[in-house]
A and B are shown apart, each in its own frame.
Chain A
């Protein structure tokens, strides 16, 4: 189930976007329209719900798209925010809320469906599940929770933001089962979630939190190539 919120003070535009979303005819996708940031935030807080994708106009009276988005971002790190902007309108603070994409008015149905399909693909990729066992206990983690895998002797340590898990296995077996568009092997004993990469240096990959992960010569070119494709995909192919 993917939930989309459209927020635009111009109801004509909001409706045409909603129609565009409905016309795409995607299964399991629901769509709500809000005419102001205030209304959207009130709805989020009172009903204790959240949306996966926000299509947000930047220029709105009272509470503009950016401050609305920053409230959403504070409560939900995974929300995908797509801004709808006027041509030439350039708002610099917009990057602080980590936007997923930008759409320019007037929004063509092609561009809308392109951005939305990318967002859905992103959610589906990150939402895939990795199963493993510790002793006889079965565990599962969403892909987006996993920062990196580290192999040590016959064990594999799974690092997540909330802690580490240790399971029996081999890095070589795990990489085969993972989605290569999201995970990349950097070393005989490391697999990294590319969503968490901050930079690639000569000898290691630096993660968003500053943790260095070693790169082996064998995987160096491969990881650079994979990360470039990943970033290109994140930025939206032309």
Chain B
């Protein structure tokens, strides 16, 4: 125990251990943000980390000269790496972040050293506290920058970012060596601004990665949305074609039946046959459009969906008063009404027959088309960015419907979604139609 000759040096060592543990906790906090939840319990995680860092600090104390500090942020960062295996798989981000974090901690230590060494006043408490507090500040700053994006960025871009960080680290090492070999190592020289530039560059790398990752995610999402829309369009085009065909054959059938009944009327004693033919042609008349507004695509989608509602035993209440030839494309109508009515149907399918209802109001006033769709539904408790989180099982299709609606409406109108204990309401205003 020759190291702890005075009570003060023992206290300093205790402080170093404490600071190191706090450093480690801040690092793990950053990891939690960056990589998601660790897959072991929080308590175990933090206890294990604290234990490791205590052992490391004791070891450092044992091998280093007494006047050297035993608590170094880069060392703590280094020993936090094994804990990365506890986090969800994300090799690209982990490698890049680890290198940058190491560089940042080292650059900070170096900069701080260059700044404080020439000072006359040297209180070990103040100096040690300063380096750790500054390090915590940096870690918190990085945590603020990181939005927890998990999407991979293009490989070449990743290589570039990693190379920048690696180059900084190598330069850092060389400068360190140069400075310590010099006669008067701690003069306020060019090294200090250099270190600050390194610090700034490397922290910016976090921001770069995060921005690129966000871009990649939005792009991927947009591709998915686009695909979904195209699929829907195709689906409705096909349905419309089928309906057209049915209409034509119904029309023909009606003509055949009428001709047949005329032919039958020429002969006597055919009352029964005539009656039968008349009833049959009447039946055909019954199958006709429910909605007819003079907007062909809107009518066909409403009619398709309304007949689906009937199949599902959903009680339907409609108010539709709109002018013909509204300036809405097939894609827009499919994207908005198709998705909303699909959602309403799905919500109703989870309920008992007698609880299923949908109310649709489509009205027009002052160049604005107003759409209100309300359906019975269980209350939605989970929301993200103003949209309910889908409970659908199939991955990839999560909440795409409403996202698509919102995307289409963003340019031409506004929308509002509400969920009550027994219903779900979407209100939409489309401007300037």
- Knowing A200-B414, A225-B416, A238-B319 touch, does A231 contact B365 (C-beta < 8 A)? yes
Whole-angstrom distance between the Cβ of A144 and the nearest chain B Cβ:
13
B414 near A224 with CB under 8 A, answer yes
Whole-angstrom distance between the Cβ of B428 and the nearest chain A Cβ:
8
Whether A148 is near chain B, meaning CB under 8 Å from some CB there, is no
- Knowing A92-B294, A228-B416, A232-B427 touch, does A238 contact B364 (C-beta < 8 A)? no
Inter-chain contacts of A90 with B (CB < 8 A):
292-294
Whether B303 is near chain A, meaning CB under 8 Å from some CB there, is no
> Contact partner of A92 among B323, B359, B366, CB < 8 A?
B323
Inter-chain contacts of B431 with A (CB < 8 A):
198-200, 206
Whether A234 is near chain B, meaning CB under 8 Å from some CB there, is yes
- Knowing A90-B292, A92-B323, A102-B321 touch, does A235 contact B427 (C-beta < 8 A)? no
Whether A113 is near chain B, meaning CB under 8 Å from some CB there, is no
Contacts from A to B (Cβ < 8 Å): 88, 90, 92, 94-95, 98-99, 102, 195, 197-200, 206, 208, 224-225, 227-228, 231-232, 234-236, 238
B432 near A227 with CB under 8 A, answer no
Whether B361 is near chain A, meaning CB under 8 Å from some CB there, is yes
B interface secondary structure, majority:
strand
Inter-chain contacts of B427 with A (CB < 8 A):
228, 232
Inter-chain contacts of A224 with B (CB < 8 A):
414
Tell which of B20-28, B339-347, B368-376 binds the partner.
Answer: B368-376
Whole-angstrom distance between the Cβ of B184 and the nearest chain A Cβ:
55
Contacts from B to A (Cβ < 8 Å): 292-294, 317, 319, 321-324, 359, 361, 363-368, 370, 372, 374, 414-416, 427, 429, 431-432
Inter-chain contacts of A99 with B (CB < 8 A):
321
Inter-chain contacts of A200 with B (CB < 8 A):
414, 431
Closest to B288 in A: A88
> Contact partner of B364 among A95, A199, A208, CB < 8 A?
A95
Q: How far, in angstroms, from A199 to B317 measured CA to CA in the complex?
A: 29
Closest to A224 in B: B414
Inter-chain contacts of B367 with A (CB < 8 A):
198-199, 208
Known: A90-B293, A198-B432, A208-B367. 8 other contacts (CB 8 A): A88-B292, A94-B323, A99-B321, A102-B321, A198-B368, A199-B367, A206-B432, A234-B370
Q: How far, in angstroms, from A225 to B292 measured CA to CA in the complex?
A: 30
Inter-chain contacts of A199 with B (CB < 8 A):
367-368, 431-432
Q: How far, in angstroms, from A82 to B365 measured CA to CA in the complex?
A: 13
Q: How far, in angstroms, from A104 to B49 measured CA to CA in the complex?
A: 73
Closest to A194 in B: B366
Q: How far, in angstroms, from A235 to B430 measured CA to CA in the complex?
A: 13
Closest to B290 in A: A88
- Knowing A200-B414, A200-B431, A224-B414 touch, does A232 contact B293 (C-beta < 8 A)? no
**9 A-B contacts (beta carbon < 8 Å):** A92-B324, A95-B323, A195-B366, A198-B432, A199-B432, A206-B432, A228-B427, A236-B361, A238-B319
Inter-chain contacts of A94 with B (CB < 8 A):
323
B366 near A234 with CB under 8 A, answer yes
Q: How far, in angstroms, from A216 to B431 measured CA to CA in the complex?
A: 19
Inter-chain contacts of A95 with B (CB < 8 A):
322-323, 364
Q: How far, in angstroms, from A236 to B432 measured CA to CA in the complex?
A: 20
Q: How far, in angstroms, from A102 to B427 measured CA to CA in the complex?
A: 20
Inter-chain contacts of B365 with A (CB < 8 A):
98, 231, 234-235
Inter-chain contacts of B415 with A (CB < 8 A):
228
Q: How far, in angstroms, from A197 to B366 measured CA to CA in the complex?
A: 8
> Contact partner of B370 among A88, A197, A231, CB < 8 A?
A231
> Contact partner of B359 among A197, A208, A231, A238, CB < 8 A?
A238
- Knowing A92-B324, A227-B429 touch, does A236 contact B359 (C-beta < 8 A)? no
